[in-house]
Structure 1
Amino acid sequence: MALMITDECINCDVCEPECPNGAISQGDEIYVIDPSKCTECVGHFDEPQCQQVCPVDCIPFNPEHPETKDDLMEKFLKLTADK
């Protein structure tokens, strides 16, 4: 399941540089996560790094994008194939 950033986001800028897939960017009002790039850090780390550094705990799993660990690993492999 991809992650999402809720409106509790305080725009502290700590999550964006932690994302190894470049899935986090500044949106109109708060940071946003591109679900097509979010692998919950599968393939990179044991836990989502953005969740680890978020001071207000506003990065839950996105119920609109359910994915298994296998799905996330497949996405990771596709995202890193050209690197």
Structure 2
Amino acid sequence: MYHHTTSLTSIAPGSGNTSLEKAMFYIFHMLSDWLAVALLLVPNIRAIFKTGMWGDWRAIDPLPQEQEWVRKRKEAKARRSGLIV
């Protein structure tokens, strides 16, 4: 920290008390926080990684053939119950 001041009400250059200096401080220090929040909340993580409500509890991912079998089974069950025509 190059600049320092002994007065909390000083508006000398480098004191950190001018409006511009305070605005720049909050912009640069809060920008990283807002960026982290956006990266955590904006993307749909469950859709991207195909996990359930409480995460992925399986030890290994199913093979493509198993995924296709499960999809067909769900579709057949939906047809039987009348949800899909």
TM-score normalised per structure 2? 0.19
Higher RCO (C-alpha 8 Å, min separation 6): 1
Q: Which has the higher helix share?
A: 2
Larger radius of gyration: 2
Q: Which has the higher strand share?
A: 1
